[in-house]
Amino acid sequence: MPSMVLQPVLQESWALIYGLFALSGFILGWAAQRGNYCFVNAMTSIFTAKSYERFGALLILFGLSALGSGLLVAFGVIPAFDQYYYNYFAGWYILVGSIIFGFGAALAGGCNLSMLYRAASGYVQNWIELFGMMIGTYVFAIGIWPFQLYTMANGILSTTNGGYVEYLPYIIFHSISNMSVYITTLVVSLPLIFIGIYLQQYTKRKWAISSSLRINLPAARAYYNQNISTSGEENVSLTKEIKDLILLRKPYGTNLTTIILALDLLLVFIVGAGYTFNYLVITSSDGGRFFEYLLMLGNVKLFLNTPWFNDSLPIVDPSTLMVIMLCIGAFSASYLSGDFKIRIPRNKSRLLIGFGGGMLVGIGVRMALGCNVGLMWTNFAQLGYDGIIFLFGMLLGVYLAIKVQERWL
């Protein structure tokens, strides 16, 4: 049986480790806000606008994350058990939970990541959605978790071990050697990256053809002649673009944000190796925890009579710190760029729909044992297969929500 004992990789103080986790959360919030990065929008655009550009970026994100973390393990920088230690217990609940999550997130108009950075940017609807997610967590804890825990403990449509049992190198080669991790890393990551790039290029070609059909040939030639640049002008344009990005005059592009997020996840992987929860970037569990903390102010202690909350981590947990810093990073980016503004939707029914969608998100993430960030994205980087299950389940949930909105909303 492979080792399941964590050993710190970096021999640093806890203060520095927590400081780096805080920095990672800040970067996550900052980059996501500047790039308007949303997993749900990437998926809805497939069905509504027939655009694969943002979804392609998601596949590139998953591929880069798997490639980076896998190579760190394959070359012995990080022990293998730091990659598989917190792999999930696969089961029916991941598929069902991801469908519920995708449905609720599409109704609410954003994933866990975008809910947080938009809430920090002044969107009142996202405040309501986050509160709905807290209520959904409570509903899950009292109505679903006891049954789900029973199925997990008894292996009913579920694995019972997690960890290396969910680790693709072990599943494929029955080994966690450096070579098995290396081969699996390439097999998982490179197709994701290439497919993502292909989908983006396919979308751009389709848009280019569509645009060319709308204008006559002389106009197209005039447009081409007007916009053709010399190499010197291109350099000036590139310099100006970089300056605009630094001075927050221009939002980040989708692919720039993708690269920053992938590097940020690897930072958490390296910093957290052997210390805490590996490199899990979590944005959902804290919704339930914050609800628990709020009720504590009224002397209501959920952990005394609600089993799921027994496992809630203290407020000093690194993942909670990351979520707080994510919001601070997003607020800083929106405020400094002049984008921060308290925004209340004109159609007040959006607040009610957002609350309902948030509740479903809270139920879905707890049932699936994670969200689009803390399970799907992270699990791709863990070389597990639960992220793949979540991806297809979330796509189905988003599709169903779009159909419901088209017909009834």
* Residue among 174, 252, 196, 226 nearest 67 (CA): 196
Please indicate whether residue 302 or residue 77 has the higher confidence score (pLDDT). Answer: 77
Distance of CA 125 to the CA centre of its chain: 20
Q: Give residue-wise pLDDT tens across range 290-331.
A: 777 778 778 887 777 777 776 555 556 777 788 889 999 999
* Residue among 353, 376, 352 nearest 364 (CA): 376
User: Other CB atoms closer than 10 Å to residue 193's CB: what's the count?
Assistant: 18
Q: pLDDT > 90: what percent of the chain?
A: 60
Q: DSSP H helical segments within 36-144, as ranges? A: 39-48, 53-74, 81-84, 92-108, 112-119, 124-143
Please indicate whether residue 310 or residue 51 has the higher confidence score (pLDDT). Answer: 51
Please indicate whether residue 292 or residue 261 has the higher confidence score (pLDDT). Answer: 261
pLDDT-derived band at 241 (thresholds 50, 70, 90) equals confident
Longest dimension (CA), the chain: 75
Lowest mean pLDDT among 32-41, 151-160, 178-187: 151-160
Tell me how far apart the alpha carbons of residues 329 and 23 are, in angstroms, rounded to a whole number: 9
pLDDT in the model for residue 226: 47
pLDDT-derived band at 99 (thresholds 50, 70, 90) equals very high
Distance of CA 222 to the CA centre of its chain: 43
Q: Cβ distance 102 to 396 under 8 Å?
A: yes
Q: Give residue-wise pLDDT tens across range 106-160.
A: 999 888 899 999 999 999 999 999 999 999 989 998 999 999 999 998 999 998 7
pLDDT over 70 at 213, yes or no: no
Tell me how far apart the alpha carbons of residues 318 and 25 are, in angstroms, rounded to a whole number: 10
**Whole-number average pLDDT of the chain:** 87
Please indicate whether residue 109 or residue 169 has the higher confidence score (pLDDT). Answer: 169
Tell me how far apart the alpha carbons of residues 348 and 207 are, in angstroms, rounded to a whole number: 35
Tell me how far apart the alpha carbons of residues 186 and 182 are, in angstroms, rounded to a whole number: 6
* Amino acid at position 340, single letter: F
pLDDT in the model for residue 217: 47
Tell me how far apart the alpha carbons of residues 312 and 326 are, in angstroms, rounded to a whole number: 20
pLDDT in the model for residue 401: 97
Q: Helix (H, G, I), strand (E, B), or coil: what is residue 50? A: coil
Lowest mean pLDDT among 3-17, 43-57, 137-151, 226-240: 226-240
pTM: 0.90
Please indicate whether residue 175 or residue 282 has the higher confidence score (pLDDT). Answer: 175
Tell me how far apart the alpha carbons of residues 299 and 135 are, in angstroms, rounded to a whole number: 18
What tokens were used for 164?
């290396």
pLDDT over 50 at 222, yes or no: no
At how many degrees (to 10) do helices 349-368 and 285-296 cross? 110
